[in-house]
Amino acid sequence: MVICDTPGTNPEADKFQHNVNVAAALNYRPISRLLIVVKADTRMANPLDRIREFATDLLELPDGIIGTLVTHMDTVSWSEMEFKTMVQNELGIDCVLFSRKHTHKKFLLDDIQATCTQTLNLRVDHDNFLKLFKIGKSERKIILQIRKEVQRFREIKEQFDEARKAFAGKDEIDLVFEFQAWMERQVVVSQKKLAKDNDFTFFGHKAEAEAGYIANMTNQMRCVLYDLRIEAAKFQKEHGAGDARRCPHCNEVWIKVEGCEGQTTCGNRPSVSIDIRDASFAELGTFSFAWQNLKESFKLAINKLPSRKIEHKKFASQIGCGNNINWSSLPKVSIPPELAQVVKPVRMDEVPILSKDVPGAKTWHAAVDHALDTALLRMQLGKKPA
């Protein structure tokens, strides 16, 4: 077992380089456990808040890899069980370890190793660096503009929530998905505006701070987008993915998406490709969105444009053995993991913290990747402590 002790992620100076070194540790080797180390305090809420702060920054990492280690337990009166219960209930972190001044290193190492039940390859690059680490500064003029842009984003969403009440059925579904795509583009619009208004070049000694400002704004907007994606996901429907059956002749596994429960043939494909929505959705309504300046106020304008027909393509090839089978009498099988849920988990990975379309962003992306690669090359294991 290799344990890597990294620098802090929120130093007073040179935040960028400190966080690059932490990222290099994440990239160095596959990781089984990432522990947030905090010092016990007289008030139990203090270490809890510190854990919450770091855990929130690490939301982009896979579930279950985050744990915490509380040191100096011999200096407090509250119990391990009290704190562990609080961490589990409030933060959803199950891995909670403790140490005291006289805790023997062997016992502590054994406790840590017992929590290492998986191995994951984590890769930090320019795409997710700003999601994991805060490197921004607090220049008042820029912070005020960020606040204004985020407020505009929230107001658009609030007005949309009211406007969508006028739509129903397929129009509402199309509206929600198309508005979601439009809002994602608005994130990039705001990034470009913030960069242009403040002469960001993402080059030189101000590059890290400029990227940090963009990240500050985008992360707040991503929270609004997340709520919107949760709403969009409610419209997605399953198409028989809960019932998989096996052909007794060739062992091919099938899922029925149309037809009756009776006689058919192995490999009989659907007559048309399957849309994620109902078959009645043969047209896509197209909407346009605009944030209009009405002198003293702003208004979200929504216009429906002529709809477009969807052409369903028929399948040309045939697979399966072709033997006659009766669906109702076929043996059921467990659903493969990739089909266990048609609705994909709501994730925000593809919403860029700093879009490549922002002038100068590619320079920053290249600089981050270079810094990470350089730090990784410097990584080396020292001698094992005695």
Confidence of residue 10 (pLDDT cuts 50, 70, 90): low
Instruction: Report the residue count for the chain.
Output: 386
Q: For residue 97, what are its two tokens?
A: 């370890």
Half-sphere exposure of 168 (CA within 13 A, CB side): 1
Query: Tens digits of per-residue pLDDT, 262-272?
Result: 778 887 766 55
Beta carbons within 10 angstroms of residue 236's beta carbon: 13
Residue 240 pLDDT exceeds 50: no
Query: DSSP letter at 373?
Result: H
Q: 120 or 344: whose pLDDT is higher?
A: 120
Q: CA-to-CA distance for 370 and 131, rounded, in angstroms?
A: 18
Residue 78 pLDDT exceeds 70: yes
Lowest mean pLDDT among 43-52, 125-134, 315-324: 315-324
Lowest mean pLDDT among 60-69, 159-168, 229-238: 229-238
Residue 231 pLDDT exceeds 90: no
Q: State the DSSP H helix or E strand holding residue 301, giving kind and residue range, or none if neither.
A: strand 298-309
Looking at residue 246, its amino acid is R
Q: For residue 153, what are its two tokens?
A: 């984003």
Query: Tens digits of per-residue pLDDT, 51-62?
Result: 888 887 776 777
Query: Tens digits of per-residue pLDDT, 144-171?
Result: 999 999 999 999 999 999 999 998 887 8
Average pLDDT for 164-187? 86
Query: How many Å separate Cα 70 from the centre of its chain?
Result: 27
Q: CA-to-CA distance for 99 and 378, rounded, in angstroms?
A: 31
The 10 Å CB-count burial string (b at 16+, else e) for 177-186 is bbbeebbbeb
**What pLDDT, on a 0 to 100 scale, did the predictor assign at position 28?**
85
Residue 98 pLDDT exceeds 50: yes
**What pLDDT, on a 0 to 100 scale, did the predictor assign at position 326?**
75
- Is pTM beyond 0.75? Reply is no
- Strands 96-98 and 66-71, sheet pairing: parallel
**What pLDDT, on a 0 to 100 scale, did the predictor assign at position 160?**
93
The 10 Å CB-count burial string (b at 16+, else e) for 59-76 is eebeeebbbbbbbebeeb
Which DSSP string corresponds to 50-98? HHHHHHHHTTTSPTT-EEEEEE-GGG-SS-HHHHHHHHHHHH----EEE
**What pLDDT, on a 0 to 100 scale, did the predictor assign at position 280?**
42
